[in-house]
Amino acid sequence: MSRAIFTIAYFTFLEAARARLVRLLLLVVLTAFAGGLFLNEIAIADSQRIQTAFLAASLRPASVFMLSLFIISSLAREFNEKGLELILSLDLPRTSYVIGKQLGFMGIALLLTSAVSLLLAAYAPAGQVLLWGLSLLGELWIMAALSLFCLLTFSQIVPAMSLVLGFYLLSRSMTAIQMIGHAPINETGTVQLYMVHALDAIALLLPRLDAFTQTAWLVNNSGSWAQLGPIALQTLIYLALLLAGALFDISRRNL
Amino acid sequence: MTERPLSAVPIPILALLTLALVLQIYWGLRTPLPQAKAQALPPPPNHEVIAVASFGESIVASQSMALYLQAFDNQPGISIPFQNLDYATVIQWLDRMLELDSRAQYPLLMATHLYTQVPDPARQKQMLEFTYRHFFAAPDLRWQWLAHAAIVAKHRLHDLPLALKYSRAIARHANGPGVPHWAQQMPIFILQEMGETESAKILLGGLLANNTLDDPHEIRFLTERLKEMETGIVEKSPPLSKMQQD
């Protein structure tokens, strides 16, 4: 079983290279680098800080977008070409397929994180870049598992991608939304009170991505390794939740 | 495509799903919301950054900056009193907005109506001086903000010389067709309030003599006012806010 898992993971990783993801990654990194250089030139003060913040703030969502889009489009193609049926017609448990795919996607996430972190290492302290990179890796692993789960659930690119992007934006802004809800400017009515409780309930089901991969670590040298513990734990819990969801879905799927 | 029954899902998967869900909720419950921290107002972006960020749309950039600044005192989970804002930085923002859009009224409105609400005379004066400084670039367009500044100086700061300075600037520089007569008459009543009745009489007499007024009611009112001054009956001027209503 484990051999099958690693074979699926290996071919998933290989597909990323063949799908020109590496070229796209290089293009994105170069574009961000050029944008950073431009800002560095026009900024009168704090030029390196501005450049580093721009690179970090733009490459983080760009990595999430590239990875999610790749996963969703690759799985959708596989479904349309009946590749899933072919694999599952072999003597292979459905669990192996999901875990193998997820491992392959996690490898691609590692590739993306390494490329982005290497670029940032030229502008920020190595320790902080390592911390930032590990946190980005956790974030990308969660988004990879979510993309897998969404495509297994919806089977179509548009709803799956919309949900992934909506989830990402909500997870990154939920803390701010909750803080606004808990300290309203005007008087609080009953409806607003229910809305605040509803927001709190939704927040319980989301990972706090706003605490992940902070640009401030790179530009202010303010990250500490103690911050990585909760991030790692949250990554593990959420990975388990999404993988269990994906396994649940594929187990109920009628091929 | 029909789904397989729930019983087709292996028990370890159901157990993992339940356990992970419980753990996620537990983790969410034990992680408190971060405390809201007030962020200091940063200096405004420089021209080059604004030009790039707004794709050369300087008017839109000015308007966006106004909305950002207006909303700045309400940050997530916290409301910052105006007193805690760095007024020098606020003025930098207002200056930049007027540089980007010279016909914008919003920065002057914010300065005279919004940021003068702070219970600190020094900060109020900073905003009034900002308005005064920018008035001369377009007196016929900006007179109303300086008129409001004069009212604030007179009634809130009780600084009559400052109110006189602003009202004189309006009387001397804002002479366009859209500027009402009451705005040009402001110095007369402030002078009278200050006890400078002779100066007020000269100004009022000059105003009546040069035939700039065309409303007979206004001419009658001001003529009576001049007579009262000459006979020494009137000691107090009407409040400027009442004049505005008239």
Q: What is the pLDDT of residues B87-141, one digit of tens each?
A: 999 999 999 999 999 888 989 999 998 899 888 899 999 999 999 999 999 999 9
- In this structure, is residue B155 part of a structural domain? yes
What average pLDDT does range B22-28 have in this prediction?
Answer: 93
Beta carbons of B3 and A241 less than 8 Å apart? no
What average pLDDT does range B162-187 have in this prediction?
Answer: 88
State the Cα–Cα distance between residues A141 and A138, nearest whole angstrom: 5
Ranges of beta strands (E only) in chain B are 74-75, 78-79
State the Cα–Cα distance between residues A168 and A184, nearest whole angstrom: 25
State the Cα–Cα distance between residues B236 and B141, nearest whole angstrom: 30
Domain count across chain B: 2
The confidence band for B173, taking pLDDT boundaries of 50, 70 and 90, is very high
Same domain, B70 and B108: yes
- Identify the three-state secondary structure at position B57: coil
Domain boundary among B133, B161, B189: B161
Q: What is the pLDDT of residue B178?
A: 80
Search chain A and give the residue with CA nearest B48. A42
φ, ψ of residue B158 in degrees (nearest 5): 50, 40
Per the model's pLDDT, the better-predicted residue between A231 and B51 turns out to be A231
Q: What is the DSSP string of B132-145?
A: HHHHTTSHHHHHHH
Q: Which residues of B touch A244 (CB under 8 A)?
A: 13, 16-17, 20
Beta-carbon count within 10 A of B160 CB = 17
Same domain, B244 and B192: yes
A1 lies within 8 A of chain B by CB: no
The confidence band for B85, taking pLDDT boundaries of 50, 70 and 90, is confident
Which B residues in the span 133-172 are in contact with A, Cβ-Cβ below 8 Å? none
What average pLDDT does chain B have?
83
State the Cα–Cα distance between residues A231 and B232, nearest whole angstrom: 81
- Structural domain including B208 reads 180-246
The confidence band for B167, taking pLDDT boundaries of 50, 70 and 90, is very high
Domain boundary among B161, B189, B205: B161
Same domain, B130 and B215: no
Q: Which residues of A touch B25 (CB under 8 A)?
A: 204-205
State the Cα–Cα distance between residues B143 and B183, nearest whole angstrom: 8
Which A residues in the span 171-190 are in contact with B, Cβ-Cβ below 8 Å? 175-180, 182-183, 185
Q: Is the pLDDT of residue B75 over 70?
A: no
- Identify the three-state secondary structure at position B18: helix
Beta carbons of A185 and B4 less than 8 Å apart? no
Domain count across chain A: 1
Q: For residue A59, what are the contacts with CB-CB under 8 A and spacing of at least 6?
A: A28, A29, A32, A116, A119, A120
- In this structure, is residue B111 part of a structural domain? yes
φ, ψ of residue B75 in degrees (nearest 5): -95, 160
Same domain, B202 and B151: no
Structural contact between residues A104 and A10, judged by C-beta atoms closer than 8 angstroms = yes
B71 lies within 8 A of chain A by CB: no
Beta-carbon count within 10 A of B50 CB = 20
- In this structure, is residue B71 part of a structural domain? yes
A153 lies within 8 A of chain B by CB: no
- In this structure, is residue B10 part of a structural domain? no
- In this structure, is residue B14 part of a structural domain? no
Q: What is the ipTM of this complex?
A: 0.81
The confidence band for B233, taking pLDDT boundaries of 50, 70 and 90, is low
Q: What is the DSSP string of B109-130?
A: HIIIIIGGGSS-HHHHHHHHHH
Same domain, B152 and B210: no
Same domain, B196 and B246: yes
Q: What is the pLDDT of residue A45?
A: 67
* Residues with pLDDT less than 50, chain A: none
DSSP one-letter code for A212: S
Domain boundary among B108, B133, B161: B161
Same domain, B187 and B127: no
C-alpha angle B48/B54/B60, rounded to 5°?
Answer: 120
Search chain B and give the residue with CA nearest A41. B48
Same domain, B113 and B219: no
Q: For residue B79, is it left (φ>0), alpha (ψ between -120 and 50) or beta?
A: beta
Q: Is the pLDDT of residue B214 over 50?
A: yes
Structure tokens at A234: 């949250």
Beta carbons of A179 and B2 less than 8 Å apart? no
Structural contact between residues A96 and A1, judged by C-beta atoms closer than 8 angstroms = yes
- In this structure, is residue B23 part of a structural domain? no
Q: What is the pLDDT of residue B232?
A: 67
Q: What is the pLDDT of residue A49?
A: 85
Residue B115 pairs with which residues in a beta bridge? none
Same domain, B128 and B193: no
Search chain A and give the residue with CA nearest B74. A185
Residue B75 pairs with which residues in a beta bridge? B78
- In this structure, is residue B32 part of a structural domain? no
Beta carbons of B76 and A43 less than 8 Å apart? no
State the Cα–Cα distance between residues B217 and B215, nearest whole angstrom: 6
Q: Is the pLDDT of residue B51 over 90?
A: no
Shortest distance between the Cα of B120 and any Cα of chain A, in A, equals: 23
Q: Is the pLDDT of residue B245 over 50?
A: no
CA dihedral A235→A237→A243→A247, nearest 10 degrees, is: 180
Same domain, B136 and B220: no
Q: Is the pLDDT of residue B200 over 60?
A: yes
- Structural domain including A172 reads 2-252
What average pLDDT does range B146-152 have in this prediction?
Answer: 93
Residue type, position B10, single letter: P
Q: What is the pLDDT of residue A165?
A: 96
Same domain, B51 and B127: yes
Search chain A and give the residue with CA nearest B34. A175
Same domain, B152 and B54: yes
Q: What is the pLDDT of residue B38?
A: 67
Per the model's pLDDT, the better-predicted residue between B183 and A60 turns out to be A60
Q: What is the pLDDT of residue A138?
A: 97
State the Cα–Cα distance between residues A208 and A231, nearest whole angstrom: 9
φ, ψ of residue B160 in degrees (nearest 5): -65, -40
A245 lies within 8 A of chain B by CB: yes
- In this structure, is residue B223 part of a structural domain? yes
